[in-house]
């Protein structure tokens, strides 16, 4: 403790013990020499991840001219995101490669759709660009802050760090609802450009006579999208504070080492 009663930053310079550092060259050699029976690339959840990538690629291929095929491939790819993690835990095949593959697929798939929406709704291009930047920045900084603090997974967030992120990552139903609702909003925006036929609510509500079913879906899912991006902002801010805290602890430790040398 310091004189004012606060924790000494240099005292925080310790590894949590949850990660053992492996030399990069050793890791490459291990990956090259892995056997068929223990090939992480061929783990079932990772095969599901590759399927997600293929489906995402198909959705991008059909995006500009076949909305039904595009939506089907995109939705299945997103739904498989809820399956691979459960399969990994059930088969004892959790892996860092799988976790990163899952996150990268999520980020790239959503970003590609937002790029298309930017061209479809040019007046809102800046909004879509902001959402892409926020999504990438918050997840990258969160992942990096998890690594430098010795966490095995970016989802292992304690309530002491952030109650919002703890509830978001540790409750599977909340995580699925927020992610699914967010994607549903973007898919609805995509389909709004293709579906022009009203669903007939004008019979009961005259002011809704021109409402299409994608617009109907977009209205409630928009609130989920807003909530999801608020969480992204919280994640970005908390990760920034963690990285700054690590910097302060390292600098304090370096000063102590220098003082002992002198």
The residues assigned a catalytic role are 106
Q: Is 250 exposed, middle or buried (0-12, 13-18, 19+ CB in 10 A)?
A: middle
Compute the Cα dihedral for 113, 119, 124, 128 and give only its sign. positive
Q: Which two tokens stand for residue 118?
A: 């930017």
Say how far apart CA 246 and CA 262 lie, in whole Å: 24
CA distances to 37, 39, 49, 97, 199 from 31, rounded to whole Å, are: 13, 8, 18, 11, 54
Say how far apart CA 183 and CA 51 lie, in whole Å: 18
DSSP string, 151-218: -S-TT---TTT-HHHHHHHH-HHHHHHHHHHHHHHHHHHHHHTT-----SGGGT-GGGTT--HHHHHH
Give yes or no for a contact between 175 and 154, defined as CB atoms under 8 angstroms apart.
no
Say how far apart CA 80 and CA 54 lie, in whole Å: 12
């Amino acid at each position: 403790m310091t004189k004012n009663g606060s924790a000494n930053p240099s005292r925080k310079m310790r590894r949590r013990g949850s990660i053992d550092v492996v030399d990069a060259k050793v890791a490459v050699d291990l990956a090259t020499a892995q056997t068929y029976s223990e090939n992480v690339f061929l783990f079932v959840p990772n095969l599901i991840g590759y399927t997600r990538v293929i489906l995402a690629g198909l959705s991008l291929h059909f995006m500009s001219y076949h909305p039904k095929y595009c939506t089907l491939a995109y939705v299945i790819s997103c739904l498989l995101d809820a399956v691979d993690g459960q399969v990994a835990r059930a088969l004892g095949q959790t892996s860092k490669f799988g976790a990163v593959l899952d996150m990268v697929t999520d980020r790239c798939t959503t970003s590609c759709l937002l790029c298309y929406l930017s061209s479809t709704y040019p007046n809102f291009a800046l909004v879509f660009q902001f959402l892409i930047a926020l999504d990438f920045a918050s997840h990258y900084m969160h992942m990096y802050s998890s690594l430098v603090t010795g966490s095995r997974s970016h989802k292992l967030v304690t309530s002491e760090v952030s109650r919002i992120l703890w509830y978001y990552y540790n409750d599977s139903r909340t995580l699925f609802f927020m992610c699914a609702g967010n994607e549903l909003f973007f898919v609805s925006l995509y389909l709004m450009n293709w579906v022009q036929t009203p669903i007939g609510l004008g019979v009961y509500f005259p002011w809704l006579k021109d409402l299409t079913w994608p617009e109907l879906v977009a209205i409630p899912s928009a609130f989920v999208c807003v909530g999801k991006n608020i969480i992204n902002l919280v994640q970005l801010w908390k990760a920034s504070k963690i990285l700054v805290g690590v910097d302060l602890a390292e600098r304090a430790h370096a000063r102590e080492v220098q003082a002992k040398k002198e």
